[in-house]
Structure 1
Amino acid sequence: MSSPNSGAEREKLVSKLPAHLQQALKVRAAQLQTDMQDAVASGIQAWRDCPDELPAVNTAGADSFGTYLPEGLYEDFKADCRHRGVSYIQGLAQSVVLWLADNPAGSQGITRRIVVCNQKGGVGKTAVSAGLAEALAEDGLRVLLVDYDPQGHLTHQLGLTAIPAGEESLITHMLHRELVKQPLLDLTVAIEGNRFGGRLRILPAAFDAFLLDSGLTMFRGPRHAALERAIAPLEEHFDVIVVDSPPSLGLAMDAALTFGRQRDEEKPGASGLIIPVEAEDTSAQAYGMLIQQIDSLSRDFDISIEQLGLVVNKFDSRRGYIATSSLDKWKSLGTPPVLAVVPDVKEQREAVRKQRPLLDYAPDCEQSHQMRQIARGVKIA
């Protein structure tokens, strides 16, 4: 069936597609920062242009699938299916398989890097970092969480222990590469949870990180690039790296912001900053200070650091006018957009107490839904 998509010259395709192909399509499109409807359209066009007979795809147990195609393509596709003597479901499955083959996972080239930051303490950077990473892993991406905060709240909340001072850690790989004895990947730990399928790992915090700013002061190399140099060997193993930053405006934060910059040949909106804020006045003041640091770093090193969005965290409308008016002000900024408004309810605190990932502990709570909303906003960018 075909129905016009209001507001755009597209038509709705409603068909069926095996669940494994739907998942593979969703993950690959996210990896390549491509809209799923564009991927399907490209696959159908490649299928129509292919002169060879394609192998049949097992479509037993196919589930409902819908997307939007450029106007006229759906009718042309159905006509080609009739001409080739295959069902619409088979033709669609072959098209998706063809697109997946033509667009391998490694072709995205650059691992996306998302830095969750705000020098103001207590705004929920750790909760947003974890929730975003969990939502991305739940959706099929390989995700690394980096606990870059020496306080180690993220590490502790996920039931792990920070790396003791003097032992090899991210800080060793940043400042003392001559002392490194093992790959940084070996220090990462898988986060348990059936929803993540082994795709979510964490690089735990290190107590040595309390001395990172002073260490960077004496660092002989480019200080602002120290984090990127250390993490670079990990990038080939992950689709997205999420960094939980310390409440700081020092040299360590400069290195984190530089890590999240837009690299050459990287699409706008692929990497950048997620900034958790609260609906109150001091949060707005802290945000202004962070913007000054971003602008200064961008000018000094001629780099582009993109703000992917704001997350208004721990929101409770019962706090009255200050909360509601502050939320309106955040939304009125327009750029960066407010990706989600996360309510201040009990499930996050319970998950922390039980040292479990929120999306594993309470997958259907409102906070979990808002974390997925942040992930959708990041993937659309």
Structure 2
Amino acid sequence: MTQPATSDREKVVSKLPAVLQRDLKIRSAQHGIEIQYAVEAGITAWRGLGSNLTPIDTSGAKSFSTFLPEGDWDDFRNDCSARGVSIVQGLSQSVQLWLEKNPAPAVARPNHARRIIVCNQKGGVGKTATTAGLGEALAEDSDQLHPVRISKYFAALAENGADALEYEDLPGLGLRVLLVDFDPQCHLTKQLGHAPLPIDGDSLTKHMAGEATGKLRDLIVPIEGARFGDRLHLLPACHDAFLLDVKLSGVRAREAALERALGPVEADYDVIVVDCPPSLGLSMDAAAYYGRRRPEEVTGNSGILVIVQAEDTSADAYDLLTSQLEDLRSDMALELDYLGIVVNHYDARRGFIATSSLQAWMDIKDPRVVGVIGDLKEQKEAVRLKQPLLDYSPRCDQAVGMRALAREIS
């Protein structure tokens, strides 16, 4: 984004085709530089050429302004006159030249598939909505800009409400994501418009229990949406997962059952997000084990993401969950990282209970709060319509919060 001029820069106004304005905005954001510096570099490169470029169609060019070093615009205008091209044509060629010299960077993919375990044994805190929104944010198109809430302003929620937060347009992360519905209630599967797997067919439960009849990859379905391309997939749940703890009790190395099941598809994805059931049973042990830090992984690549609400019962549930995870850490010598806490369904209008609870979560520090998601109607509407939230309402507060969360834990 072009910033106001400093003392050594002046505002210049011209015209530029809409498609070049769009590509310039996206590409400069992808490279993390301001538009004014991209334009300056393009003009410098254009002025250094030994011959004119092929003319660009500038019909329908729209108003465009930026900031350049003092004197550069006058020199550029003189060069355009000397070369016999209009200022709009010269500026268009300069921007096109910069775009060609600075192609879109490749998506940075992790060396090993990240495993994000979304959990809390308390029901109704929004694990499923967070799993879906996080996965959608991770998979959004990297060649488009999307509004993101700047995470360092979380604390302003407790004092001033959502209006105090700042926003920024950033390229999507463009990662290949698998959402795993690990909950026998099948909420994630249904919310994203798919039917649960038939109970008499193959399922994740059967793969974990050693009763599979086919390949797990064959159960995975795509989540449609232009903003996700073919990067967002779902492993649907089956109601037979209600029997998972019973089945796992007789399985060898049962804590590794989820890892054995998902292992064959890990290479297909950059991130695997697991929506856990509201349980502290053997299935939670298997999910936590799957999210442990493996020997070749860096700290924080994979781990546990805890979803809570800004009220007292979430604090009680959080204590029970962390006690179980700490026992697993100790008993099995696991390197188990917390990716953070997400305070979901937050609404400052609920007064002291909400704001003081949010502050209490922020005071924990380790793990720290990595996301605050508002309690707004768009998520409920998306669920009713069985559409991904970021496709249904990409600019709503919950959507921009999900993008902030995705970046905060990346």
- Note if 1:180 corresponds to 2:213: yes
The 3 A distance-change label for structure 1 pair 330 and 316 is same
Give the TM-score of the pair, scaled to structure 1: 0.73
Alignment of 1:334-373 (within 5 A): 334-373=365-404
Provide the rounded CA distance (Å) in 1 between the counterparts of 2:185 and 2:25: 40
> Equivalent residue for 2:202?
168
The runs of 5 or more residues in structure 1 that have no matched partner are 4-15, 27-35, 38-59, 65-86
Out of 179, 182, 190, the residue aligned to residue 148 of structure 1 is 182
The 3 A distance-change label for structure 1 pair 105 and 378 is closer
> Equivalent residue for 1:204?
236
Deviations 1:67-111 (A, max 9, x none): xxxxxxxxxxxxxxxxxxxx99979976878x86xxx977x4310
Provide the rounded CA distance (Å) in 2 between the counterparts of 1:211 and 1:217: 10
Q: Helix, strand or coil for the counterpart of 2:371? A: strand
Q: Helix, strand or coil for the counterpart of 2:297? A: coil
- Note if 1:231 corresponds to 2:262: yes
1:359 alignment partner AA:
L
Deviations 1:15-57 (A, max 9, x none): x99779959978xxxxxxxxx89xxxxxxxxxxxxxxxxxxxx
Provide the rounded CA distance (Å) in 1 between the counterparts of 2:326 and 2:337: 10
Are the equivalent residues in 2 in contact too, given 1:17–1:89 (CA < 8 A)? Answer: no
Are the equivalent residues in 2 in contact too, given 1:25–1:96 (CA < 8 A)? Answer: no
2:232 alignment partner AA:
L
Are the equivalent residues in 2 in contact too, given 1:21–1:96 (CA < 8 A)? Answer: no
The 3 A distance-change label for structure 1 pair 346 and 17 is closer
> Equivalent residue for 1:192?
224
Provide the rounded CA distance (Å) in 2 between the counterparts of 1:300 and 1:88: 60
Provide the rounded CA distance (Å) in 2 between the counterparts of 1:284 and 1:298: 21
Deviations 1:210-235 (A, max 9, x none): 0000000111x211100001000111
RMSD: 3.1
Deviations 1:338-358 (A, max 9, x none): 112111110000000000000
> Equivalent residue for 2:348?
317
The 3 A distance-change label for structure 1 pair 23 and 283 is farther
Q: Which runs of 4+ in 1 moved over 3 A?
A: 16-26, 87-97
- Note if 1:123 corresponds to 2:132: no
Provide the rounded CA distance (Å) in 2 between the counterparts of 1:124 and 1:332: 22
Cα distance, 1:294 vs structure 2: 0.6
Q: Helix, strand or coil for the counterpart of 1:267? A: coil
Alignment of 1:252-263 (within 5 A): 252-263=283-294
Provide the rounded CA distance (Å) in 1 between the counterparts of 2:395 and 2:389: 10
Q: Helix, strand or coil for the counterpart of 1:195? A: helix
> Equivalent residue for 2:333?
302
Deviations 1:162-211 (A, max 9, x none): 1121210111111125x432x21111110011111121000000111000
Give the TM-score of the pair, scaled to structure 2: 0.68
Provide the rounded CA distance (Å) in 1 between the counterparts of 2:96 and 2:327: 54
Deviations 1:238-258 (A, max 9, x none): 000000000000000000001
The runs of 5 or more residues in structure 2 that have no matched partner are 4-20, 34-55, 58-64, 66-93, 141-171
- Residue correspondences, number: 306
Provide the rounded CA distance (Å) in 2 between the counterparts of 1:317 and 1:115: 28
